[in-house]
Amino acid sequence: MSATTSSAESPPLAASPLPRGADAVALEVFRLLLSSCAEEMGAVLMRSALSPNIKERRDFSCAVFSGTGILLAQAEHLPVHLGAMPFSVQAALRQFPLARGDVAVVNDPYFGGSHLPDITMISPVFLDDAADRPSLLVASRAHHADVGGMSPGSMPLSREIFQEGVRIPPVKLITGGRVSDDLWRLILANVRTPEERDGDLRAQLGANRRGVERVRELCDAHGAAQVLAWGEQLLAYTALRVRTHLAQYDGMQAAFTDFLDSDGCGARDLPISVSLRFAAGRLHVDFAGSAPATGGCVNAPRAVTVSAVAYLVRCLVPADVPANAGLLDPVTIDIPPGSVLDPAPPHAVAGGNVETSQRVVDALFGAMAQLDAHIPAASSGTMSNLTLGGVDPRKGTSFVYYETIAGGLGASQAGPGASATHAHMTNTLNTPVEALEHAYPLRVRQYRVRAGSGGDGRHRGGDGLIREIEVMSQVEATVLAERHLRSPWGLRGGGPGLGGKVWVRRRGASDPQPLAEKCSIILDPGDTIGIETPGGGGWGCGTAPVVENIVSRP
């Protein structure tokens, strides 16, 4: 039996008439005005954060919501955050009303979160002094480099969520403008780097505060009623544009199955199956046949799976379509409860947000490639997560380094895939070598393109990266990666990209020792750990049938 989701479980869209004298130009102006509020939130968060993961890599997202939790506008941040964030906002609203001066906080994957390092803060915007409910909301989500748990970086090879860090259900961090010092101390007491967490949490509060200010200024300048009416029109406009675009596929259907390499705890070849069916300008997505929830950490919360579908729709429609809840209005989604794509607590989920989300996208793109010649071959299909944690001998305090490492993009009909680029559900940057070596007792020994790792074809897939890091003190290293056993597939006869590799080189040794794609290991001073990320699949050979991909075998 499957559960069905429509519009990310948001209330039905309310179509209001355009304000008097409205036109298409005004619609675009208000889209940009609302999204600029989210963009400025991101700028504040990036500039005021302490951790390189937020400041340098920009592993965060910001958005503006209606007072009932419907996504109205977002910054161009991380797809996996933005598609899932409405679930966290709505979960908080179900738990309690948000009054003036309140700020809610949540990271629980079973209350709309993605994984525990992603902490979401939600602030209400009141535009009417007499109102008892907010007119709008702003929210920020940031990946905190450590939130406790069984290993530094809170991305462990876990078997249950309790091993992954401090779990925060929707609660009020600030009530009526007064910070809950007890809750703040509780969070900081459960992490390895409390000073860094304190700074990053304060940066999020600053970002939310700026978002509230900018939304209020927007409403003061144009009138609250006008802004709210335009918000509704943007939702309706997006839904209409999506239905119009999806109508070109009416009557078409396709299915595709791809596989996760492993769950890190012994299970291998976990299927991610999807079928697509288009009718009357609508899309039905069904994940029947996907693996049941597994014992390792690659289970993806429901919000993450829906986020991947939202990303597919965003890629299909023209770039000028506003990104808001209207994207999923013409879409229904069936996800088998209890599957790896909708696990029940207390299943572990640390890797579902970063790895399984990528494989869901691969499966969705694999199905769409049978219907649309513009779809590219598979990209690297992994975020190649690396965490290193220990004691910094320069300071005598704990440190945690976390990074996702880019790979190759899939080639397409339009040309070759880009090299050394973060793909699909991630939109982060790298940590510059100078910033990394300044912040941590680490030294980058190699950082270069993995030449020749992209798949062959009329258009070659993009190449991955090689990153080798030497540790200057004893650290615990954890790797969560994919596409090491099953390479990124090519299209129309194009070859697969090279699978990834992980290895360790002990101090004084000449040859590296291979490691599993999901592993945890202790490194001593002078040891190095290296990751070679997958290349993208190639496209075309001139004589291949229309679609020849399904799944590349090891």
DSSP letter for each residue of 76-119? S--HHHHHHHHHHHHHHHHH----TT-EEEE--GGGT-SSTTEE
Q: How many CA atoms lie within 13 A of 378 on its CB side?
A: 38
pTM for this entry:
0.92
Q: Give residue 238's pLDDT band: very low, low, confident or very high (50, 70, 90).
A: very high
pLDDT tens, residue by residue, 4-44: 333 333 333 334 444 444 578 888 899 999 999 999 999 99
**How large is the average pLDDT for residues 238-262?**
97
pLDDT for position 9: 36
Q: Give residue 84's pLDDT band: very low, low, confident or very high (50, 70, 90).
A: confident
**What is the four-CA torsion angle of 148, 517, 461, 378, rounded to 10 degrees?**
-70
pLDDT tens, residue by residue, 285-302: 999 999 999 999 999 999
The per-residue DSSP string of 376-436 comes to PPP------EEEEEEEETTTTEEEEEEEE--BPPPPBTTBPPPSSB--TT----PPPHHHH
Q: What percent of the chain has pLDDT over 70?
A: 93
* Residue 19: burial class (beta carbons within 10 Å; 0-12, 13-18, 19+): middle
pLDDT for position 427: 81
- CA 63, CA 49: separation in Å to the nearest integer? 18
Determine if the peptide bond prior to 346 is cis (ω within 30°). Answer: yes
**How large is the average pLDDT for residues 394-406?**
96
pLDDT for position 77: 66
pLDDT tens, residue by residue, 195-211: 999 999 999 999 999 99
Q: Give residue 94's pLDDT band: very low, low, confident or very high (50, 70, 90).
A: very high
pLDDT for position 26: 85
For the chain, domain boundaries: 13-241, 374-554
**How large is the average pLDDT for residues 152-172?**
98
Q: Give residue 82's pLDDT band: very low, low, confident or very high (50, 70, 90).
A: low
pLDDT for position 552: 31
Residue 483 pLDDT exceeds 70: yes
pLDDT tens, residue by residue, 442-458: 999 999 999 999 999 99
The per-residue DSSP string of 478-504 comes to EEE--SSSSPPPPBTTPPPPPPPEEEE
- CA 71, CA 93: separation in Å to the nearest integer? 14
Q: Give residue 81's pLDDT band: very low, low, confident or very high (50, 70, 90).
A: low
